Chain A
């Protein structure tokens, strides 16, 4: 159990367009989902924490108007990269926890490779 899917697995888009990435928990309800990104040779960096039905909490330096997060249901969170630019090219990966223990494992999706031309 505890499978998280992510779609698409890769996307190429033109500069200025918006891209939506979906993260779904397939066999459990996730009240909290997380979005990370990873630049080449760097570690996974938390972008935002998303709770179902409420606004996401963004990490310092992450523009909330550029990276729109919607967590409309207990099994789905979406990340929309608005007006994407080449510097947004990165690997984006989501995770989810099962409530309620705070030390509970985060279950990850397989990630999305975004390339902005």
Chain B
């Protein structure tokens, strides 16, 4: 079992604030790093798949960076909105589709 850690476990931000969270993963046997957004009672929604060191991906107000040498990825949300409230999961992939998930960061955006 690989250790994938996410921090913080939860956070509350005011609407309009920008925020970021961290995913730490092993720096060896890296294949890809996945980010998902998971709203309550819904399916986890894929946000990004990142494969190269230094990768930056962006989707609207959400962006992510990747550092495979030191084993971390940051997810940024600019100008948080209430609809951004969800649990954000990262998953480390070593190959052959095996994903190792963190426990997630639960974000609550207060109107």
| A, B assembled together | yes
Chain A residues close to B by CB (< 8 Å): 4, 9, 32, 34, 36, 41-46, 49, 93, 97, 102-111
Cβ of B51 within 8 Å of any chain A Cβ, yes or no, is yes
> Which of chain B's residues 82-103 have a Cβ closer than 8 Å to chain A?
89, 91, 93, 95-103
Contact status B99-A103, CB under 8 Å: no
Contact status A107-B46, CB under 8 Å: yes
Total cross-chain contacts (CB, 8 A):
55
Contact status A102-B96, CB under 8 Å: yes
Which candidate, B12-20, B37-45, B60-68, B71-79, is the interface stretch facing chain A? B37-45
List residues of chain B with CB within 8 A of the CB of A44: 89, 91, 99, 101
List residues of chain A with CB within 8 A of the CB of B109: none
Which 9 pairs from chain A and chain B are nearest by CB? A105-B46, A43-B101, A44-B101, A108-B44, A108-B43, A110-B43, A103-B32, A43-B103, A109-B43
Contact status B31-A106, CB under 8 Å: no
Tell me, rounded to whole Å, the shortest Cβ–Cβ distance linking B64 to chain A: 14
A93 and B44 alpha carbons, distance in the complex (Å):
10
Beyond A46-B98, A46-B99, A103-B49, 12 additional pairs, beta carbon < 8 A: A4-B43, A9-B41, A34-B97, A34-B99, A43-B4, A43-B100, A43-B103, A44-B101, A102-B96, A104-B97, A108-B36, A109-B43
A109 and B89 alpha carbons, distance in the complex (Å):
15
List residues of chain A with CB within 8 A of the CB of B49: 103-105
List residues of chain B with CB within 8 A of the CB of A97: 97
Tell me, rounded to whole Å, the shortest Cβ–Cβ distance linking A15 to chain B: 27
Tell me, rounded to whole Å, the shortest Cβ–Cβ distance linking B59 to chain A: 13
List residues of chain B with CB within 8 A of the CB of A103: 31-32, 49, 51, 93
Tell me, rounded to whole Å, the shortest Cβ–Cβ distance linking A108 to chain B: 4
